[in-house]
């Protein structure tokens, strides 16, 4: 109670001070408040008091800096599909240069030994799992813009989907590649190819087991565009 009375008699003037000063006087005001509290309590206040005020000021400044200009419009830094007000937007690629774009993605479907043996022997009730999943992946890549709302409709020049049986962990390893000569990348097309192929493997094998896992879907490599070439570190 004594502490509350001391603070209530000491801080009001400082509180009024904060409301009437500009940001350029904030450091001076904090220093004066620290001295005032030290005279009351005999020791300086915790560093968190001044730090919290400084952090609030920094947060305000950073929120203003976290926008960038893109084609004459503001967007959140690094998030080109989000506008200045946080709304979803489709990126305008009309000003981008045409270049050769290639992307490679990979993923894995863990079957378990029982299902793996059936797939290896081509004894699944729905037919040849690997061949059907490969075709499904190719079709999936061509439908990417219909599945992912803000993807552009790209004229693909090449799609490749390969599936390989791995007896070490009883899995199907999937690699998808997409290519285009255009103004935007084909990473989503490669990832969609791998994902749809994996889902097709699951669909054709689910009658034999519900423990099948689709996992490790990721982009491995991309070329072309303003950002240049990129490869995942091993």
Is residue 218's pLDDT more than 60?
yes
Catalytic residue among 54, 92, 181, 203: 203
pLDDT number for residue 6: 43
pLDDT tens string 162-201: 999 999 999 999 999 999 998 899 999 999 999 999 999 9
Under the banding of pLDDT at 50, 70 and 90, the label for residue 133 is very high
DSSP 45: P
User: Which stretch of DSSP H or E encloses residue 50?
Assistant: helix 47-65
DSSP 104: E
Under the banding of pLDDT at 50, 70 and 90, the label for residue 81 is low
- Name the residue among 110, 108, 99, 76 with its Cα closest to residue 217: 108
Under the banding of pLDDT at 50, 70 and 90, the label for residue 57 is low
From 46-50, 116-120, 215-219, the region with the lowest mean pLDDT: 46-50
| Total number of residues shown for the chain | 234
Q: Is 203 a catalytic residue?
A: yes
- Phi-psi sector, 110: left (phi>0), alpha (psi -120 to 50), beta: beta
Cα–Cα distances in angstroms (integers) from residue 4 to residues 9, 58, 83, 202, 219, in the given order? 9, 30, 47, 65, 58
pLDDT number for residue 94: 75
Is residue 71's pLDDT more than 70?
no
**Own/partner pairs for 154-161, CB < 8 Å, 24+ apart?**
154/180, 154/182, 154/184, 154/186, 154/189, 155/180, 155/181, 155/182, 156/180, 156/186, 156/189, 157/181, 159/189, 159/193, 161/133, 161/134, 161/137, 161/193, 161/194, 161/197
Whole-number Å distance between alpha carbons of 3 and 213 = 60
pLDDT number for residue 68: 44
Is residue 96's pLDDT more than 70?
yes
Domains in the chain: ranges and CATH: 100-225 (3.30.70.640)
pTM for the whole structure: 0.65
- Name the residue among 2, 36, 39 with its Cα closest to residue 16: 36
């Amino acid at each position: 109670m004594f502490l509350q009375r001391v603070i209530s008699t000491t801080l009001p003037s400082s509180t009024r001070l904060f409301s009437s000063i500009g940001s350029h006087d904030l450091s001076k005001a904090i220093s004066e408040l620290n001295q005032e509290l030290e005279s009351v309590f005999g020791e300086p206040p915790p560093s968190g008091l001044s730090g919290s005020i400084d952090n609030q000021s920094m947060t305000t400044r950073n929120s203003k800096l976290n926008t960038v200009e893109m084609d004459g419009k503001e967007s959140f830094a690094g998030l080109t599909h989000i506008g200045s007000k946080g709304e979803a937007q489709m990126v305008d690629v009309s000003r981008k240069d045409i270049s050769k774009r290639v992307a490679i993605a990979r993923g894995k479907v863990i079957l378990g030994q029982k299902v793996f043996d059936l797939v290896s022997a081509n004894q699944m009730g729905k037919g040849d799992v690997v061949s059907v999943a490969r075709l499904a992946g190719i079709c999936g890549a061509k439908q990417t813009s219909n599945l992912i709302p803000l993807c552009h409709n790209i004229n693909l020049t090449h799609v490749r989907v390969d599936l390989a049986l791995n007896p070490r962990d009883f899995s199907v390893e999937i690699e998808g590649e997409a290519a285009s000569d255009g103004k935007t990348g084909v990473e989503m097309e490669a990832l969609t190819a791998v994902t749809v192929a994996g889902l097709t493997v699951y669909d054709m094998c689910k009658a034999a087991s519900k423990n099948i896992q689709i996992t490790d879907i990721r982009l491995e490599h991309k070329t072309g565009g303003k950002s240049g070439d990129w490869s995942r570190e091993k």
